[in-house]
Amino acid sequence: MKIATLVLFSVMMLAPSPTLFSAPFQKDKPAEVDRAEQSLNTAKGELEKAGAEWGGHRMQAIKHIDAALHELELGEQWARQHHDIK
């Protein structure tokens, strides 16, 4: 009986457990996402100061940047709700 218990215990110790070896959540959003967000804000500021309308395409580009920033915000909210980041 002692040998069977010892063998069972050894197998349990050697078998990987998903709860022990799962990837830990990040403490904050990745630096790459933060830099992308900063780049989008910089691009938006540059376009806002650019002057001419370019047939409405400059304003459309600003709207696309706003949409991208909104998507990043939604993604960050999702990650926080699902404990991917704090």
> What is the per-residue pLDDT across 2-40, written as a single tens digit (0 to 9) for each?
666 655 555 555 655 555 555 555 578 899 999 999 999
Residue 72 CB neighbour total at 10 angstroms: 16
The answer to whether residues 28 and 86 touch, using CB atoms and an 8 Å cutoff, is yes
The answer to whether residues 47 and 58 touch, using CB atoms and an 8 Å cutoff, is yes
For position 17, what pLDDT does the model report? 55
Asked if residue 51 has pLDDT above 80, the reply is yes
> What is the per-residue pLDDT across 53-83, written as a single tens digit (0 to 9) for each?
899 999 999 999 999 999 999 999 999 998 8
